[in-house]
A and B are shown apart, each in its own frame.
Chain A
Amino acid sequence: MTAGPLVDVRGLEKRFTVGGAWLRGRQRVVRAVDGISFMIERGEVLGLVGESGCGKSTTGRLILRLIEPSAGSVHFEGHDLMALSASRLWATRQRMQIVFQDPFASLNPRMRVGQIIGEPLAIYARADAAERRRQVSELLDVVGLAATVAERYPHELSGGQRQRIGIAAALALRPSLIVADEPVSALDVSVQAQVLNLLMDLRARFGLTYLFISHDLHVVLHMSDRVAVMYLGEIVEIGPRAALHEQPRHPYTQVLLSAAPVADPTLRRQRIVPRGEVASPLAVPSGCRFHPRCPFAFERCRVERPTLRTIGARHEAACHLNDAG
Chain B
Amino acid sequence: MTKPHNPLLSVEDLRTHFVTRAGLVRAVDGVTFTVGRGEVLGLVGESGCGKSVTSLSIIRLVPAPGVIVGGRIRLDGEDLLAKDAEAMREVRGARIAMIFQEPMTSLNPVFTIGDQIAAAVLAHAGGTRREAWTRAVEMLERVQMPSPRERAREYPHQLSGGLRQRAMIALALAPGPQLLIADEPTTALDVTIQAQILELLRRLQAERGMAVLLITHDLGVVAELCHRVAIIYAGRIVEMAPVDTIFREPLHPYTLGLLRCLPHPSRFGQPLSSIEGAPPDLRVTGRGCSFAPRCPSAIASCRVDEPALVERKPGHLVACPVVPV
Binding site for B on A (CB under 8 A): 51-52, 158, 160, 188-194, 196-197, 200, 215, 217-219, 221-223, 241, 245, 255-256, 258-268, 271, 273-274, 277-278, 293
Contact = CB atoms under 8 A, between A and B. Distances in A.
A245 B275 contact: no
A192 B259 CA distance: 12
A277 B162 contact: yes
B269 A263 contact: no
Contacts of A221: 263, 265, 268
Main secondary structure of the interface of A (DSSP, over half): helix
B217 interface: yes
A280 B270 CA distance: 37
Contacts of A261: 194-195, 198, 218, 220-221, 223-224
Given A194-B276, A222-B269, A273-B192, 8 more contacts: A193-B274, A218-B263, A245-B265, A256-B192, A261-B221, A274-B192, A274-B195, A293-B192
Interface in B266-309: 267-269, 271-276, 278-279
A268 B223 contact: yes
Interface string B221-252: 11110000000000000000001100110000
A256 B273 CA distance: 25
A189 to B, nearest CB: 6
Contacts of B276: 194
B201 interface: no
Contacts, number: 119
Nearest to B263: A222
A191 B263 contact: no
B interface, size bucket? 35 or more
B108 interface: no
A188 B47 contact: yes
Contacts of B265: 218, 221, 245, 262, 267
A256 B222 CA distance: 18
A259 B194 contact: yes
A282 B291 CA distance: 50
Given A191-B278, A259-B195, A264-B264, A51 B223 contact: no
Contact of B247 (A192, A196, A200, A264): A264
B268 A51 contact: no
A190 B263 contact: no
A258 B194 CA distance: 12
A263 B259 contact: yes
Contacts of A218: 262-265
Contacts of A158: 278
B223 A262 contact: yes
> Which residue of B199, B247, B248, B272 has the most chain A CB atoms within 10 A of its CB atom?
B272
A290 to B, nearest CB: 11
A218 B261 CA distance: 12
A29 B106 CA distance: 34
B196 interface: yes
A260 B194 CA distance: 8
Contacts of A266: 247-248
B192 A193 contact: no
A259 B192 contact: yes
A193 B278 contact: no
B119 to A, nearest CB: 27
Contacts of B56: none
Given A188-B46, A221-B263, A265-B247, A193 B220 contact: no
Interface string B112-143: 00000000000000000000000000000000
Contacts of B160: 277
A104 to B, nearest CB: 13
B214 to A, nearest CB: 12
Nearest to A54: B190
A189 B46 contact: yes
Contacts of B219: 189, 263
A41 B220 CA distance: 33
A259 B191 CA distance: 6
B193 interface: yes
Contacts of A215: 190-191
A273 to B, nearest CB: 5
A263 B222 contact: yes
Nearest to B186: A261
A261 to B, nearest CB: 3
A158 B190 CA distance: 26
Given A189-B262, A261-B218, A160 B194 contact: no
26 contacts: A51-B190, A158-B278, A189-B46, A190-B261, A193-B262, A194-B274, A215-B190, A221-B263, A222-B263, A222-B268, A222-B272, A255-B192, A258-B195, A259-B194, A260-B220, A261-B198, A261-B220, A262-B264, A263-B222, A264-B247, A264-B264, A265-B247, A266-B247, A273-B196, A274-B192, A278-B190
Nearest to B222: A263
Nearest to B218: A261
